Amino acid sequence: MGLILAAVGFGVITASILALAGVGFTLQFGVTNVLNLAFGSTMTAAAFVAYVVSQSAPLVVAVAAGGAFGAVFSVLVNRFVFMPFIHRGTRLFGMIIVTLSMGLVVQYSLQAIFGASFFSLPDIGGPTFHLGSFAITGPQVGILGLGLVAMACVHVLLRYTTLGKAMRATATNSDLARSCGIATDRVIDVAWAISGCLCGLAGVALALDVTAFTDTTGGDFLIPIIAVAVLGGVGQPYGAMLGALVVGVASEVAAAVISPDYKDAVAFVILILVLLVRPQGILAEVSGAKEVAS
């Protein structure tokens, strides 16, 4: 029993990384309608940026640099790659090939630059807190805090600012939003920036959590992120937060109760179950006829 409670606690830590990534993923998808399969590789790239910065600056600066890189990189990729393709009339299934290509290019560029080796961010140390068989270390407290603060910021942004309202409006119906005088292009830029920033932070948090990362680390994490987004309903940041909690806790509990072997399978099973049982979260009827366009 103690082990299961501890597993729940550990699950919350994993969930905070999943929440950062999942909210970023779903927010951008909801607003811009582009399913970004380069998300995982962008996370890895941010982790590498943080690694480079951490060689000559404190870790806090490195974390911020990772987030900033994610934001800038995402906006640029959207402006100079994804958007032009959309304006050229590339359709949904063309776009998904474009984003996947982008992901491969980013991942293998990292391998070309840094080599197929393993890298570690500096250890921030700090005390380990014990609570029965649950224990939490300094870096994990940091990851947890990062996740909570970021989620609070997203909440404030979406609920209490005009920009948030505009984003929600664009996500619901971009044509209508534009007719109502919302500068949807600007909103889309902002959405990419916020999503990219969360993506970058998630990448750094992931690198801290796994302690040794390589060029495939973020890409390997893409499935749980997709599971989180799908579970929460794509375009639903609050859904993604809840989804992150479910996926994070479920996989740790599965490792405790069944076998560590089946830990990753949990995200898969959740994804398949959602698709079979509750596909309305991701059903075609609402947006099926709508091509990717702004």
Instruction: Establish if 204 lies at the interface with another protein (CB under 8 A).
Output: no
In angstroms, what is the minimal distance from the CB of 75 to another protein? 18
What is the distance, to the nearest Å, from the Cα of residue 71 to the centroid of all Cα atoms in its chain?
12
Binding mask 270-289 for another protein (x = CB under 8 A): -xx--xx--x--xxx--xxx
In angstroms, what is the minimal distance from the CB of 172 to another protein? 16
In angstroms, what is the minimal distance from the CB of 217 to another protein? 7
- Are 116 and 215 within 8 A, CB to CB? yes
- Identity of the residue, 210 or 242, whose beta carbon is nearer to another protein in the bound complex: 210
- Identity of the residue, 14 or 158, whose beta carbon is nearer to another protein in the bound complex: 14
- Are 178 and 184 within 8 A, CB to CB? yes
Instruction: Establish if 259 lies at the interface with another protein (CB under 8 A).
Output: yes
* 155: amino acid identity, one letter: H
SS (H, E, C) the chain: CHHHHHHHHHHHHHHHHHHHHHHHHHHHHHHHCCCCCCHHHHHHHHHHHHHHHHCCCCHHHHHHHHHHHHHHHHHHHHHHHHHHHHHCCCCHHHHHHHHHHHHHHHHHHHHHHHCCCCECCCCCCCCCEEECCEEECHHHHHHHHHHHHHHHHHHHHHHHCHHHHHHHHHHHCHHHHHHCCCCHHHHHHHHHHHHHHHHHHHHHHHHHHHCCECCCHHHHCHHHHHHHHHHHCCCCHHHHHHHHHHHHHHHHHHHHHCCHHHHHHHHHHHHHHHHHHCHHHHCHHHHCCCCCCC
Site for another protein in 102-141 (CB under 8 A): 102-105, 107-109, 111-112, 115-120, 123, 128, 133, 135, 137, 139-140
Range in contact with another protein (rule: CB under 8 A) among 144-152, 163-171, 178-186, 250-258: 250-258
Instruction: Establish if 172 lies at the interface with another protein (CB under 8 A).
Output: no
- Identity of the residue, 114 or 238, whose beta carbon is nearer to another protein in the bound complex: 114
- Identity of the residue, 158 or 227, whose beta carbon is nearer to another protein in the bound complex: 227
- Identity of the residue, 186 or 290, whose beta carbon is nearer to another protein in the bound complex: 290
- Cα–Cα–Cα angle for 41, 64, 62, rounded to 5 degrees: 80
Site for another protein in 70-109 (CB under 8 A): 81, 84-85, 88-98, 100-105, 107-109
- Identity of the residue, 162 or 289, whose beta carbon is nearer to another protein in the bound complex: 289
Instruction: Establish if 155 lies at the interface with another protein (CB under 8 A).
Output: no
Using CB under 8 A as the binding criterion, the count of chain residues that bind another protein stands at: 85
- Are 52 and 211 within 8 A, CB to CB? no
Instruction: Establish if 189 lies at the interface with another protein (CB under 8 A).
Output: no
Binding-site member from 26, 28, 217, 236 for another protein (CB under 8 A) = 217
- Identity of the residue, 63 or 270, whose beta carbon is nearer to another protein in the bound complex: 270
In angstroms, what is the minimal distance from the CB of 98 to another protein? 6
Binding-site member from 52, 124, 173, 209 for another protein (CB under 8 A) = 209
